[in-house]
């Protein structure tokens, strides 16, 4: 009987804590949906020249958030999120578009992507032989 009373007290305190906002915290406006209901999709993309992430200095970096809506510092967040959704977040599925011809010049471009896509950890690193080849693979994702 004593344990039952303890559990009842604990559950009552938990219910009170959930229902009463902490001091200084404003309750959410009625009809709004908190972003915590969405699986996170937030990425940091970097671009640099070199053969390795350990030696290449990032020249550009952007953020891309796709849930609950496209945002971040990526200049084409709407298109990049649409492409990422189409790929299911699998950056390895980016293939070179047909009809694009690039020179054989070797000027390596390193792209890294780290973060979370629909709740799953993402860590991507790829070296493209030059900027033309990189642009042909990720038309909107790598356009930053």
Q: What is the mean pLDDT of residues 77-82?
A: 95
pLDDT tens digit string along 8-65? 333 333 333 334 444 444 444 555 555 556 678 999 999 999 988 888 889 999 999 9
CA dihedral 48, 52, 54, 58 (to 10 degrees): 0
**Cα 8 to chain center, whole Å?**
42
How high does pLDDT run on average in the chain? 79
CA-CA distance, 98 to 121, in Å (whole number)? 30
Q: Do residues 83 and 139 make contact, with C-beta atoms less than 8 angstroms apart?
A: yes
Q: Do residues 48 and 131 make contact, with C-beta atoms less than 8 angstroms apart?
A: no
CA-CA distance, 4 to 18, in Å (whole number)? 21
pLDDT tens digit string along 65-74? 998 889 999 9
Domains of the chain: 36-137 (3.30.350.10)
pLDDT of residue 30: 56
CA-CA distance, 40 to 75, in Å (whole number)? 20
Q: What is the mean pLDDT of residues 97-108?
A: 91
Task: Classify the C-alpha dihedral 11-12-18-23 as positive or negative.
Answer: negative
DSSP classification of residue 69:
S
pLDDT of residue 14: 33
């Amino acid at each position: 009987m004593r344990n039952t009373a303890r559990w009842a007290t604990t559950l009552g305190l938990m219910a009170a804590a959930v229902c009463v906002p902490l001091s200084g915290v404003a309750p959410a406006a009625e009809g709004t949906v908190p972003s915590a209901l969405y699986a996170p999709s937030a990425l940091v993309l970097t671009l640099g020249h070199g053969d390795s992430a350990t030696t290449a200095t990032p020249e550009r970096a952007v953020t891309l958030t796709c849930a609950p809506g496209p945002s971040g510092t990526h200049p084409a967040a709407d298109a990049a999120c649409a492409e990422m959704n189409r790929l299911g977040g699998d950056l390895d599925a980016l293939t070179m578009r047909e009809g694009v011809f690039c020179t054989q010049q070797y000027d390596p471009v390193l792209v890294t992507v780290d973060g979370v896509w629909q709740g799953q950890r993402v860590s991507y690193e790829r070296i493209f032989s030059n900027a033309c080849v990189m642009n042909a693979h990720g038309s909107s994702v790598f356009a930053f």
